[in-house]
Amino acid sequence: EVQLVESGGGLVQPGGSLRLSCAASGFTFSSYSMNWVRQAPGKGLEYISHIGPSSNAIYYADSVKGRFTISRDDGKNSLYLQMNSLGDEDTAVYYCARHYTYFDYWGRGTLVTVSS
Amino acid sequence: EIVLTQSPGTLSLSPGERATLSCRAGQTVSSNYLAWYQQKPGQAPRLLIYGASSRATGIPDRFSGSGSGTDFTLTISRLEPEDFAVYYCQQYGSSPRTFGQGTKVEIK
């Protein structure tokens, strides 16, 4: 069974940093591209980052470019999102999702709250 | 990037009724690479439809997708209580993948 479990969310002050993790199981993690999608409270889905197998392709939405860094550790079956210079607009639930052209499996998400 | 516009914003229906949700793209969606997702409160999105009309594994056949080019439709033939949720379309034919803003199907 495919499982994706996010962790690392929490309360952070504006300008602060946070590192999210996504632990994957039930499939050959190294063979798949992975994504981060976020959802601000009461809002829709925003696709923010993508990483290909062997980190051969990386994408960032303009809203996070230069502040967020996506990475993966295939030995640990894990996906990461390093988030720096956080602002109020980054408050959201962050989901990792497996990439099969469309996004076929999603984690339950981890909540990031940016507030002083 | 391709902008997806979903309509209506909210659909108020009763159980047993038919729901028709629209997703219109600002440009042609390559190869009809259009997916639909369902999201219930406090839950992650769940893939319903891919390739505009193919149901994902385990999705009941009351859910169907249709359309091509720039106009796509998700139809729920007879609403069950568990179908009241928010539905998002996504195009994955062009980078970046983009989502519509969602349609909420609520109980009338």
Taking contacts as CB-CB distances below 8 angstroms, the residues of chain A near B52 are none
> B9 to chain A: nearest residue by CA?
A44
**Mean pLDDT of the region A47-72:** 96
Residue of B99, B103, B104 to mutate, interface with A, max A Cβ within 10 Å: B99
At residue A100, does pLDDT exceed 90?
Answer: no
Amino acid symbol at A59: Y
3-state secondary structure labels for all residues of chain A: CCEEEEECCEEECCCCCEEEEEEEECCCHHHCEEEEEEECCCCCEEEEEEECHHHCCEEECCCCCCCEEEEEEHHHCEEEEEECCCCHHHCEEEEEEEEECEEEEECCCEEEEECC
**Mean pLDDT of the region A33-54:** 96
**Mean pLDDT of the region A33-53:** 96
Q: Consecutive 10-residue runs of chain B (108 residues): their mean pLDDT? A: 97 97 97 97 96 97 98 98 98 95 96
At residue A30, does pLDDT exceed 90?
Answer: yes
> A100 to chain B: nearest residue by CA?
B92
The per-residue pLDDT for A1 is 95
The per-residue pLDDT for A54 is 86
